[in-house]
Amino acid sequence: MNAAKHLIICNKSSKIGKKMKKKFWKIVSATTFICASHFANAALVTANKYTLDTDTNIVSDGTLEWLQWDVTSGLSINSSLEQYSGWSLASNSQMEALFSDFFSNNTWTSNESEYQLHSEAPFDDVPIYNTFLDLFGSRVSSSDIDNEEYSLTYLNSRQEISAFFGSDEDGDNRYNIASVKDWSYARKYIKQTQETRSVFQPANALMTKDNIRLTDSHNNYGVALVRPQQNADTVNVSEPATLMIFSLGMLGIVARRSKK
């Protein structure tokens, strides 16, 4: 009789153990899937001292955060500041520092009344321009043309990004434009003479002198917004780490129950 009871208890324990093992592996699978999905979606792009968080569209240098320029495409300075509370318009000195970090071959200044342009040599494919566009956003600015006089065919897609910025230190109610473009190469066919020419546009970075009003907007231009680094002195547990800690806790509970 005691042997029979013991056999029944053992069978029940075996079934419970199998169920607990199934739960254990379900939790492991779910945790792996969630963490893998999060890491797949949350990517960090780093260059120089700048890092882009693709989840938030924020570029950080460790002390200052920049919102990607293409996020505000089509907005005026006024409307972007209303829409993005806590952000401010990038100043002349902040844009000077940014361009100096990426395009150091040129001497940039914070003089808002000076037109500043740095172009690379023809046919030079300089990676830093693509890096800047990867961080701050971009749009395709090259499009084929075909009219009665000529046709223009691009052999690569030219990327560029532009944004309003400035401090209006001279009080004329005008602000500036910063722009970065990579290189492009195209073939131009003159229909009347049946002549084919090569057209090359070098990579360049520029800052225009103040000519933009607070209410001006354009679909091809964003607004350079900045703010101090958020939680720079606080160590936060990331979401994947939180999920992992929670899952490990659940695994511990399952393990304890399986021993009973």
Residue 65, pLDDT score: 98
The residue ranges of DSSP E strands in 18-144, in sequence order, are 44-47, 50-53, 58-60, 64-67, 88-89, 116-119, 139-140
Phi, psi angles (nearest 5°) of residue 152:
-125, 120
Dihedral sign computed on CA atoms, order 164, 117, 98, 92: negative
Grouping H, G, I as helix, E, B as strand and the rest as coil, residue 174 is coil
Domain assignments of the chain as residue spans, ordered by start? 1-63+229-260, 76-221
- Residue 26: the pLDDT is 52
What Cα–Cα distance (Å) separates residue 100 from each residue in 72, 77, 150, 183? 23, 24, 39, 20
How many residues are listed for the chain in this entry? 260
Each residue's pLDDT expressed in tens, for the chain with a length of 260 residues: 555 544 444 454 554 455 545 554 454 444 444 444 444 445 788 888 999 999 999 999 999 999 999 999 999 999 999 999 999 999 999 999 999 999 999 999 999 999 999 999 876 778 899 999 999 999 876 678 899 898 888 877 788 999 999 999 999 999 999 999 998 778 888 988 989 988 888 899 999 999 999 999 999 999 999 999 997 543 333 444 444 444 545 545 545 555 55
Which one, of 132, 224, 133, lies nearest residue 175 by Cα? 224
Q: What is the pLDDT of residue 47?
A: 81
Rounded to a whole number of angstroms, the CA Rg of the chain reads 29
Nearest partner of 111 among 169, 154, 42, 56, judged by Cα = 169
pLDDT of 57 reads 97
**DSSP-based three-state secondary structure for 143:** coil
